[in-house]
Amino acid sequence: MILFEDISKSYGENPLFAHVSFSIGKGEKVGLVGRNGSGKTTLFRLITKEEPCDGGRIYVPKGYRIGYLKQHLKLSEPTVLEEGALALQEEESHQHYKVEKILQGLGFSNEQLEQPPSLLSGGFQVRLSLAKALISEPDCLLLDEPTNYLDIVSIRWLGKFLESWPKECLIISHDRSFLDLVTTHSIMIHRSSIKKQKGKVDDLYRQILVEEELHEKTRQNLEQKKAKIEEFIDRFGAKATKASQAESRKKMLSKMPSLEKLNDLKHLNFNFNYFESPAKRLLHADNLSFSYDHEDRATPHLIHRFSLEVEIQDRIAIIGKNGEGKSTLLKLMASQIKPLQGQLLPSPHLRIGYFGQTNIDRLDKDNTIFEEIAKANPLLAAQEVLAIAGAMMFSKDAQEKKINVLSGGEKSRVLLGKILASSCNLLLLDEPTHHLDLESIEALKTALESFKGAYIFVTHNEDILSALPFNKIVHVKQNAQQLLIGGYEDFLSKMGWEEPEIFTKENKVLKKDPSESLVLRNHLKVLKNKISKTEKAIETKEGDLKKEEDRLMKASFDSKAKEIAETSKIIKAIQEELALLFEDWEKESEELEKLKSELLLKGYI
């Protein structure tokens, strides 16, 4: 259980959140969403004490272990398996089967388990970090975009693993399907505030939309009432017969609350420019083969005799496990690399817009956002470049920022802006959603739905695969590429995914004492009931505290000094009672964990 009490955090004049309070309850698995730059990762850094709060406090019980994805691993062991085993608790140090199951679930092959971890790609090193976090079995997991470097099979495995995870978990993700599978609650950082709600992310978005519509209607009604009162005062204030009524209305007006108009939020809003093509066929890939080890004849080609006809209305998805050649295939189609065999036959009217990691890496770090987008099409007028950058949610001032200071999400938007700067009729998109927030992903889906040309999309996001109207699926598997005519649901029904067996803990076989087992189990039951009562008492007190804080706010607004003093005393007393309850909860939880360990060690659970 983690309690956030009146916390605030800002960078310079940019407030991320101010005076927010909430908690992560026992066993809750919470999806954390919000726009890029809203403070999601910062909240994680506050929990792990990598950064301090500007105000308020975060209460983490004594001995409560937090596990999180480390971006930079210190690798010390000779093999991946042994590196993963470092995360085992001391009493579990012999349980290498557990390490093996989790690593395999996250997509490591048997060969990779015996490799030196230093030979792993950046993506697989992130997977190793994720595996170590899972293996360590902390009290709370903090996962920042855990699906970014996983393929669909591994994402599904992780989803099932976390679905059965018995402890707390806080997950930042742009993958709606994954969050829906795993989470019990949702939190959104929005307008410098934090809102938590039980249920799915979409439910929380809808609730916030309803609340904002209600706020605006209330504000408008209030302004209309004020206007009528002001009109009465102006009209009758000077008349002796109405003077007392006018004075009364002045007092009424001074006591009426004011509601500020909510600022309009920027949205990614764009359409891809279509280059007209009279030809139905845009591109023909004829028996393409490719290998990165082309000098080694014993090594099979990564891409082997691949053929594909791309027509003007095609919506094509390329799917498969990591390392099977999806991005390589897209690079071949974009002529970023040359095939060892076969050829590409483009239509003379073909115009490609390519979004790939290599293109992001090729952004000129010394250019400003404006200069980089303008470079994509020298014929554009300055106003047109400004408009494109604006559609990518960059203000006029922000367009002067250099590429080298941008976040991953901002660089992705610059690359999208460069594609918008020129017309195209074939979009090649390699994981474009990796660094985009949920709102931006929705905007991209909308833009693709209205695009008149064709697109080929590499993604591991099943929400996107189900949402977009794909008519061809290319499944890349073990140096072969299978073409299926149909959408993602057709693929699932006709081919489907081979999923690894989900990790299950093996029960220890020990000689058991029935009487001792009964005593310990009864103690466990009593302790669980005790903790449940303490948690209910905490919830009740937190509700009392919220009521008194609301009362204090109203008293402050009405300038009632006596009520302010009384309410402040009550709040202080409740806070002291809460602190004692949390101490009790902490002691009881520690006792419960010790008892569970004893039962597990003796084979009673």
Give 432-488 pLDDT, tens digit per residue. Answer: 888 888 888 888 999 999 999 999 999 999 999 999 999 999 999 877 888 899 999
Give me the pLDDT at residue 605, please. 53
Q: Determine contact, residues 195/20, Cβ cutoff 8 Å.
A: no
CATH number of 281-494: 3.40.50.300
What is the band of 594 on the pLDDT scale with cuts at 50, 70, 90?
confident
63 Ramachandran zone, left/alpha/beta (phi>0; psi -120 to 50): left
Instruction: Determine the Cα–Cα distance for residues 544 and 536; give it in Å rounded to an integer.
Output: 12
Could you give the angle at which helices 201-236 and 243-255 cross, rounded to 10 degrees? Answer: 160
Mean pLDDT of 581-595: 81
Euclidean distance between the first and the last CA atom of the chain, given in angstroms as a whole number = 24
Structure tokens at 519: 């005593």
Q: In this structure, which CATH number among 3.30.70, 1.20.58, 1.25.40, 1.10.10 belongs to the domain 514-601?
A: 1.20.58
Residues counted in the chain: 605
pLDDT tens column, 509-538: 334 455 566 667 777 778 888 888 888 899
Give me the pLDDT at residue 241, please. 65
- Fold for the domain defined by 2-206: Rossmann fold (3.40.50)
197 vs 552, residue with greater confidence: 197
Give me the pLDDT at residue 511, please. 42
Domain limits, the chain: 2-206, 210-255, 281-494, 514-601
pLDDT at 275 over 50: yes
Mean pLDDT of 144-163: 88
**Cα–Cα nearest to 416, from 350, 467, 368, 369:** 369
Structure tokens at 239: 């008349």
Give me the pLDDT at residue 214, please. 84
How many other C-beta atoms lie within 10 A of the C-beta of residue 500? 15
Structure tokens at 351: 């115009």
pLDDT tens column, 30-62: 999 998 888 898 999 999 999 999 999 999 988
In what helix (H) or strand (E) does residue 42 lie, and over which residues does it extend?
helix 40-47
Give me the pLDDT at residue 532, please. 86
Phi, psi of 474 (to 5 degrees): -105, 115
pLDDT tens column, 365-422: 999 999 999 998 888 899 999 989 888 888 888 899 999 988 878 888 899 899 989 8
Instruction: Determine the Cα–Cα distance for residues 418 and 411; give it in Å rounded to an integer.
Output: 11
What is the band of 66 on the pLDDT scale with cuts at 50, 70, 90?
very high
Instruction: Determine the Cα–Cα distance for residues 581 and 586; give it in Å rounded to an integer.
Output: 9
Give me the pLDDT at residue 499, please. 61
How many other C-beta atoms lie within 10 A of the C-beta of residue 166? 9
Phi, psi of 479 (to 5 degrees): 60, 25
Structure tokens at 407: 């976040």
Mean pLDDT of the chain: 86
Partners of 308 in beta bridges: 285
Q: In what order do the strands lie in the sheet with 480-485?
A: 352-355, 426-430, 454-458, 315-320, 472-477, 480-485
pLDDT at 9 over 70: yes
- Are 2-206 and 281-494 equal in CATH topology? yes
In what helix (H) or strand (E) does residue 283 lie, and over which residues does it extend?
strand 281-290
**Cα–Cα nearest to 29, from 201, 204, 184, 195:** 184
**Cβ burial 99-136 (10 Å sphere, 16+ → b, else e):** bbbbbbbbbbeeebbebebeebeeebbbbbbbbbbbbb
Phi, psi of 66 (to 5 degrees): -115, 125
Give me the pLDDT at residue 295, please. 66
Instruction: Determine the Cα–Cα distance for residues 492 and 319; give it in Å rounded to an integer.
Output: 12
pLDDT at 296 over 70: no
Phi, psi of 24 (to 5 degrees): -105, 110
**Cα–Cα nearest to 280, from 239, 313, 257:** 313
In what helix (H) or strand (E) does residue 170 lie, and over which residues does it extend?
strand 168-172
Query: Helix (H, G, I), strand (E, B), or coil: what is residue 28?
Result: coil
Instruction: Determine the Cα–Cα distance for residues 453 and 282; give it in Å rounded to an integer.
Output: 9
